[in-house]
Structure 1
Amino acid sequence: MRTEDETSAGAGVETGADCENVPVRFDTKIAVLLRDDLESWQRLNVTAFLVSGLGTTSPEVIGEPYADADDTAYLPMFRQPVLVFEGTRETLTVAHGRALSRSLPRAVFTADLFSTGNDRDNRAAVRAVAKGGLELVGMAVYGPRNAVDKVFKGARMHP
């Protein structure tokens, strides 16, 4: 497993791609912040939903398609690791404000979404609440490493 430093430095693009022994480094970060009181199934579900939005507005986060030795094709995935953090309700609220003030690409998951069953109702549930009143249970952010670090300041790595 790579450490964060092995995957996060660089000049905005992959380096070391031509040399298999050189770690690939990025100056960007994909990170998820989950509220620390979620059940295990909720943490997994929220994380999956949150990261699904990042590639739609930031296509540079998506790598090349995969293929096995038999040439069976597989979908492309993120080109870099996703770091998962946890924090309190207050930590999420502060991080949300920081992400907004930095205009970083972000996705949110609110407590209301646990009681909906489809995308239309999910969007309506978020739309019904002003940003300051959202009961956030998770948030994903993508951007320059230092900006994402500042947004998630006070959060801890998910165990």
Structure 2
Amino acid sequence: MFDTKIAFDTKVALIVRSDLAGWQKLNVAAFLATGIAAAAPEALGEPYVDARGRVHGRMLGQPMLIFAADRDQLQAAHRQALERDLSVVPYVFAMFSTGHDAANRAAFAAENPDDTDFVGLALRGPKKAVDKATKGLALHG
């Protein structure tokens, strides 16, 4: 029997811009999830072991909610997340045209901090703080 009533002190939210192509939304969500795993390795669960004893990779040990947002909503969520000292993983539109991690960081650094062209954000922190940062956003459908 599995315990489906486990309570978590923290919450993970991925916010993905709603006007992206399907492949872009999936790409952004995947990269954001890896960013949360890197920022919070303690949140990773144990490896998965199948019935033959073969060991498989680990995943985040808590649920992630994926929200849809437009550019303005992403900027607002970013401001709220910074004010609440949440872990923040960014993805900006210019990163779609880069080919490697160093180029992604350069693209992010080149953004105007007052008008960042976010296409995605991952947030992790205390539940109430993440809820405030994502207030008014709908779950991605």
- In structure 2, the residue matched to 1:113 is 95
Which segments of 5 or more consecutive residues in structure 2 lack a partner in the other structure? none
- Deviation string 1:13-39 (CA, Å, 9 cap, x unpaired) is xxxxxx735522212111101111011
How many residues are aligned here? 141
Task: Measure the CA separation in 1 of the matches of 2:4 and 2:91.
Answer: 36
- In structure 1, the residue matched to 2:34 is 52
Task: Measure the CA separation in 2 of the matches of 1:158 and 1:26.
Answer: 22
Over aligned residues, Cα RMSD in angstroms? 1.3
- Deviation string 1:88-143 (CA, Å, 9 cap, x unpaired) is 11110100001111111110100000111111110110111232232001000011
Which segments of 5 or more consecutive residues in structure 1 lack a partner in the other structure? 1-18
Query: Do 2:75 and 2:115's aligned partners in 1 also have CA atoms closer than 8 Å?
Result: no
**TM-score, length-normalised on structure 1?**
0.84
The structure with higher relative contact order (CA 8 Å, sep 6+) is 2
Which of 79, 82, 92 lines up with 1:100 in the alignment? 82
% identical equivalent positions:
43
Opposite residue 66 of structure 1, the aligned amino acid is Y
- In structure 1, the residue matched to 2:12 is 30
Which of 106, 109, 126 lines up with 1:127 in the alignment? 109
- 2:74 is paired with a residue of what secondary structure? helix
